[in-house]
Chain A
């Protein structure tokens, strides 16, 4: 019997199909919905309703002050969460990568373990915990609680990429730096940090966007006092039945994310990004 052989192209087909059906097609739909509006005299039909091209959805979005506020709050939340995550995760990943007792990955496992417990459950448990320590004595603390919840949920996503980058870090570079007389601090800022930037970038990529949209956390921990853009999108789809406006907001968010990604990618050296799959994990 002849053995089965696949060329590289053929091996790529399953993923290409997946990409086409679940990534590109929905994206095209979102764009289509974002730039159209229900119009009885419309030129074509979208899921049985006459629509026409229009920028009205975007104009509506930007002409409401609450929308601008929500955009800022979401981004603010995302920035704060990302920064805190990095501040906690970076030293931790550094210690994990450098220490000997992590040979079996036990320590790493401990930090990634929470990820395997259901997200909603974890958030609900977090609420009980925060209540016990008195974080719900005033509803002004809602934002803080939300940040804590977000950090808790996304920390593993920061630790992992940082850890993988740091474990690959060439120790001889550090030794060389020390040999040439650099102090530990100097070595860190001039060798370790620049070399781990790809890890930081991918960590940011994995935390920044989800934080702006995971309204389960903000609803549960913020007692509904913190509204983020994900919630606004959801309400457009589910209470207003306005898929067009909802898609437009999703598009706005997408653009904002692209800008942030563009900026973060500027921090990585060109050749480095090539080596690490453009900074995306």
Chain B
């Protein structure tokens, strides 16, 4: 025993030495603990934003800056982890183990309410990128809700349906089905849709369905001018945040019906199932929708995303600094991410829409979704592309080509005015030539498409910065892909106006929702199964101990059995 103790003691004495060695250089290294969603930051071989930041910050502080980057899967897990990491300070307040976390809207509200977050300090003058390049819409949204001091937006988006028009058409599609919340409730789409296995999101879906007519009436009167913009969005917000018992009851009923009609609940598998064609309707976040659309496109399926016309939920994820954070360095990080160059890498890597706006983001949109065409040039030396006949081409964005007079109205394109269906300006280009690439991205030839319809999609509402807005700058993208990636990432003004932020629910409200959720999720059990289990347990629990007890006392219940030997003997005799 003594030996054991001395061994343990020796070991314990070693500990401080090990630690002190580890901490010896602490003063020269500044750590930034960042806690973010999984796959929510561009970290790949070409662009590693963490390394880039470390380099930049190390130069600024003339010390080594290290980012301890960890990730979480749900807001709730993040919250629990923060609670576990807290340390009490001398004045009774708490210090959390992270410098920067990225929760969603409602969780930010909860954390602000609970006094868990540090205020942003704009006197440090290191949020210039964020304040300059952020979308005017987001900045206004934060100001009206009073979050500006506590949070900086990172990514945002809407909720809606990803759908596969081909499959819907095979199942009795009726015009306008995809535009309303009742899409997954339609009985002819039985077993084709999935909904989210998360209380808040599916609650929003059910609210949209239950209050469909109210929301539509509201929209009607907004359109006819009875409501101002802010009044309208306030009303929509009110409806989407209803949690009174009556609403909850209606939602329970609606979801119970829905549960029998959908393929199932999912959080992550919907993307793959959609692309592989297992399902045709997926209630999704816009960022996931973009990803789904992309992977489906690779598999050769064309999917679409729609935000129901009744209105929907607009959400965002933002950076907050838990109490005790290294404010200056954390702000540096937020500011670093708001650099348009980094935002572009992020958008490319994640597929979600960053809160960063401005010209550079518009250029990226054009590059991705705008339509380019090849136009002949005499400048052979600088040509983008020379075909077999020796004709040289430049690649032009359609709008630029029109602006520079390279495309002539009436010959190369026709103006069609405003398209009645979409409400966007429309042109028909008689021929669009584009290069074809092989696997190594070498140009191997070109193809052309005739009579392409292009829409002038206005992205100004979400993509103008404060300054752009003051200067009256507008941005638009000529695109042929309405309803797909571009409109998913940057919904137009009208769509955004009908979307509401969902508030943080109090404990009491949350309990009500959770009870509703359990009621919906737990299947109604066949009564015979319940009885079968009860009876079998009772039989075993009662009969067996009694039998055992009787056995012990020497009482034997003999069930008469044929003596096998008797038969043998009989056989012998018969022989």
A residues apposed to B, CB below 8 Å: 4, 10, 13, 47-48, 64-67, 69-70, 72-73, 75-76, 79, 131, 136-139, 142-143, 180-183, 186, 219-220, 222-227, 231-232, 235, 237-241, 259, 263, 266-267
Q: In the complex, what distance in Å separates the CA atom of A183 from the CA atom of B565?
A: 11
Asked if B10 is at the interface of the complex by the 8 Å CB criterion, the answer is no
A–B pairs, 16, beta carbons within 8 Å: A48-B86, A65-B519, A66-B518, A69-B523, A72-B529, A73-B525, A136-B263, A139-B191, A222-B264, A223-B263, A223-B266, A224-B197, A226-B523, A227-B522, A237-B80, A239-B76
Q: In the complex, what distance in Å separates the CA atom of A237 from the CA atom of B83?
A: 13
With contacts A72-B533, A224-B197 taken as known, whether A66 is within 8 angstroms of B522 at the C-beta atoms is: yes
Q: In the complex, what distance in Å separates the CA atom of A64 from the CA atom of B511?
A: 12
Asked if B60 is at the interface of the complex by the 8 Å CB criterion, the answer is no
With contacts A73-B525, A237-B80 taken as known, whether A225 is within 8 angstroms of B530 at the C-beta atoms is: no
* A-contact 0/1 string along B102-120, CB 8 Å cutoff: 0000000000000000000
Min C-beta distance of B309 to chain A, whole Å: 27
Q: Is the CB of B518 within 8 A of A139?
A: no
Residue of B nearest to A228 (CB): B522
With contacts A138-B191, A139-B260 taken as known, whether A225 is within 8 angstroms of B523 at the C-beta atoms is: yes
Counting contact residues on chain B (CB < 8 A from A), the size range is 35 or more
**What chain A residues lie within 8 Å of B262 (beta carbons)?**
139
Q: Is the CB of B278 within 8 A of A131?
A: yes
* A-contact 0/1 string along B237-280, CB 8 Å cutoff: 00000000000000000000001101111100100000000100
Asked if B544 is at the interface of the complex by the 8 Å CB criterion, the answer is yes
With contacts A181-B564, A240-B514 taken as known, whether A225 is within 8 angstroms of B264 at the C-beta atoms is: yes
Q: In the complex, what distance in Å separates the CA atom of A137 from the CA atom of B264?
A: 12
Q: Is the CB of A235 within 8 A of B522?
A: no
Q: Is the CB of A66 within 8 A of B76?
A: no
Q: Is the CB of B263 within 8 A of A69?
A: no
With contacts A66-B522, A183-B564 taken as known, whether A75 is within 8 angstroms of B191 at the C-beta atoms is: no
**What chain A residues lie within 8 Å of B265 (beta carbons)?**
219, 223-225
Q: Is the CB of B544 within 8 A of A72?
A: no
Min C-beta distance of B523 to chain A, whole Å: 7
Q: Is the CB of B515 within 8 A of A241?
A: no
One of A76, A79, A136 near B278 (C-beta < 8 A): A136
Q: In the complex, what distance in Å separates the CA atom of A83 from the CA atom of B1?
A: 49
**What chain A residues lie within 8 Å of B94 (beta carbons)?**
48
With contacts A224-B197, A239-B199, A240-B510 taken as known, whether A69 is within 8 angstroms of B568 at the C-beta atoms is: no
Residue of A nearest to B73 (CB): A238
Q: In the complex, what distance in Å separates the CA atom of A238 from the CA atom of B471?
A: 47
Q: In the complex, what distance in Å separates the CA atom of A136 from the CA atom of B191?
A: 9
Q: Is the CB of B548 within 8 A of A266?
A: yes
Question: Binding site of A, secondary structure by majority: helix, strand, loop or mixed?
Answer: helix
Asked if B541 is at the interface of the complex by the 8 Å CB criterion, the answer is yes
Question: Binding site of B, secondary structure by majority: helix, strand, loop or mixed?
Answer: helix
B residues apposed to A, CB below 8 Å: 1, 3-4, 74, 76-77, 79-80, 83, 86, 88, 94, 191, 194, 197, 199, 259-260, 262-266, 269, 278, 510-511, 514-515, 517-519, 521-525, 529-530, 533, 537, 540-541, 544-545, 548, 564-565, 568
Residue of A nearest to B196 (CB): A224
Q: In the complex, what distance in Å separates the CA atom of A70 from the CA atom of B540?
A: 22
**What chain A residues lie within 8 Å of B518 (beta carbons)?**
64, 66-67, 70, 227, 232, 235
**What chain B residues lie within 8 Å of A79 (beta carbons)?**
533
Q: A226-B523, A267-B544 are in contact. List 8 more A-B contacts (CB 8 A).
A: A66-B519, A69-B522, A73-B522, A75-B533, A138-B191, A220-B269, A224-B266, A238-B74
Residue of A nearest to B197 (CB): A224
**What chain A residues lie within 8 Å of B199 (beta carbons)?**
239
Q: Is the CB of B259 within 8 A of A225?
A: yes
Q: Which 8 A-B pairs have the closest CB atoms?
A: A223-B264, A224-B265, A66-B518, A238-B76, A227-B521, A66-B522, A224-B197, A70-B522
Residue of B nearest to A4 (CB): B3
Residue of B nearest to A137 (CB): B191
Q: In the complex, what distance in Å separates the CA atom of A48 from the CA atom of B515?
A: 27
**What chain B residues lie within 8 Å of A231 (beta carbons)?**
521
Q: In the complex, what distance in Å separates the CA atom of A138 from the CA atom of B261?
A: 9
Q: Is the CB of A240 within 8 A of B524?
A: no
**What chain B residues lie within 8 Å of A263 (beta carbons)?**
537, 540-541, 544
One of B76, B86, B263, B266 near A241 (C-beta < 8 A): B76
**What chain B residues lie within 8 Å of A66 (beta carbons)?**
515, 518-519, 522
**What chain B residues lie within 8 Å of A65 (beta carbons)?**
519
Q: Is the CB of B79 within 8 A of A142?
A: no
Residue of A nearest to B510 (CB): A240
